[in-house]
Amino acid sequence: MKKVLSYFNKITIYIKDSFRRMVSAVKTDAMYRRFVYLFVGLNVILLLSELDIMNYSTVSLYAYIIIFTIVALGLNILLGFSGLMSLGTAGFVGFGAYGVVYFETLGFPYEISSLITIVIATFIGLAVGLFSLKVEGVYLAISTLAVGEIFSQIFKRVTWFTNAYGGVHYKYPTLLGFIELDRNMTYIFLSFVMVVMMVVMYHLTKSKTGRALLAMSRSNSSAQAMGVSISKYRLFSFVVAILYATIGGILYASFYRYVQPLDWNLMLTLLILAMVVVGGMKSIFGTFLGVFIIYGIPKLYLEDLFSSVSGVAYLFSGILIIVVVMFYPYGMIHVTHDIKKLYNKYKIHKQNKLKAGDGDE
């Protein structure tokens, strides 16, 4: 009994300590503040829609953006940091969505069925990662494409798991067995998970692990000479990417409550890839921006604007992507540097003008 109490004490002290460090981190590190702003900003949208200022459906568009930000963050770790390629992302998102529904129908609570799905996905990720040790570049892309195709065939044909073309229905999640979430609460839950995943990525990439991944992607031999184990970090980045995709899938099922087999195709994978590239490799907020540009702008604005002629919206979003890639090949997030530069120029210009004015008097 005493032992249990002392463990309990230790844990509470640890939690208190971590909390204190978290608070001080938010105070000192601007990055954390931005995460908080993003969380608040996303929830303001919910508030606006509740107040009837925004459409009811806007929230579900933003939920999609949130979900695919998580998925794209995973791909960003793989592509941006480790320099590896995967074309199987959509398959894993679908697996997450189907998995959580399936295990919940078996009678497990939401958290446990999510966990089981994640564990299974981790093992599949390890298998894909092991395979990736042997192939490079384009060949890796092709083989992961095959993995994605296997998934999409499973979704169409394995009836006991996915109900084939009928799709599976689900409900909003119940947390801890008694907190039943409604649509708005699920949205808040989604945005919370996204911010947590962003913090995880921020911590990972600004640590020894992130540096090792970068070292590996830039030069294998140099990384090896520095003691970075190529096989370990390759496996690691595949597992992380697949975990992010699976979590995205679980959230997809939780929010949309319906999963159907035709969504998880190569088209979706390529869109996720475009989100990472357009938004900015290695950038967390860039990934969010990328998802917003690829998915959000066409759905939120362009389709309304060109509602009279169907299809024109897609034309414009295509042109938009080309323009973005042309002017910001390293990702749209770098537009912030240009804005800062312009602002500084403007400030200096203003100061000079003031000085010139002083001289006249």
| Residues of this chain that bind other proteins (CB under 8 A) | 17-18, 21, 25, 200, 203-204, 207-212, 214-215, 218-219, 221-230, 236, 282
The residue among 158, 187, 171, 174 whose CA lies nearest residue 95 is 158
Q: How far is the CB of 206 from other proteins (least distance, A)?
A: 9
Q: 354: burial class by Cβ within 10 Å (0-12, 13-18, 19+)?
A: exposed
Closest to other proteins by CB, 221 vs 308, is: 221
If the CB atoms of residues 12 and 159 are measured against other proteins, the closer one turns out to be 12
Q: Which is nearer to other proteins, 219 or 351 (CB)?
A: 219
Nearest alpha carbon to residue 213 among 236, 245, 189, 191: 236
Asked if 286 contacts 332 with a C-beta cutoff of 8 angstroms, the reply is: yes
CB of 88 to other proteins, least distance (A): 23
C-alpha R_g of the chain = 23
> Whole-number minimum distance, CB 240 to other proteins, in Å?
9
In the complex with other proteins, which residue's Cβ is closer, 17 or 136?
17
Per-position DSSP letters for 11-53, written without gaps between them: HHHHHHHHHHHHHHHHHH-HHHHHHHHHHHHHHHHHHHHHTTS
Which is closer to other proteins, CB of 230 or CB of 266? 230
Q: Cα angle at 142 between 101 and 268, to 5 degrees?
A: 45
**Cα dist from 305 to 60, 216, 278, 293, whole Å:** 19, 45, 23, 16
Nearer to other proteins, 223 or 302 (CB): 223
253-288 in b/e burial notation, b at 16+ Cβ within 10 A?
bbbbbebbbebbbbebbebbbbbbbbbbbbbbbbbb
The distance of closest approach from Cβ of residue 10 to other proteins in the complex, given in angstroms and rounded to an integer, is: 13
CB of 79 to other proteins, least distance (A): 14
> Residue 230 or 335: which CB sits closer to other proteins?
230
Burial (CB count within 10 angstroms: exposed 0-12, middle 13-18, buried 19+), residue 89: buried
* Minimum CB–partner distance for residue 25 and other proteins (Å): 8
The owner of tokens 């490799």 is: 281
Residue 221: CB minimum distance to other proteins, A:
7
Tally of CB atoms within 10 A around 151 = 22
Rounded distance between C-alpha atoms, residue 332 and residue 280, angstroms: 6
Shortest distance, CB of residue 277 to other proteins, whole angstroms?
16
- With respect to other proteins, which residue has the nearer C-beta, 64 or 202? 202
Q: Which residue has the tokens 């996204």?
A: 194
- Identify which of 14, 12, 15, 29 has the alpha carbon closest to the alpha carbon of residue 203: 29
Nearer of residues 135 and 226 to other proteins, judged by Cβ:
226
- How far apart (Å, rounded) are the C-alpha atoms in residues 159 and 164? 5
- Minimum distance of other proteins from residue 207's CB (angstroms): 4
Rounded CA-CA distance 158/301 in Å is 38
- Compare residues 101 and 213 and give the one whose CB is closer to other proteins: 213
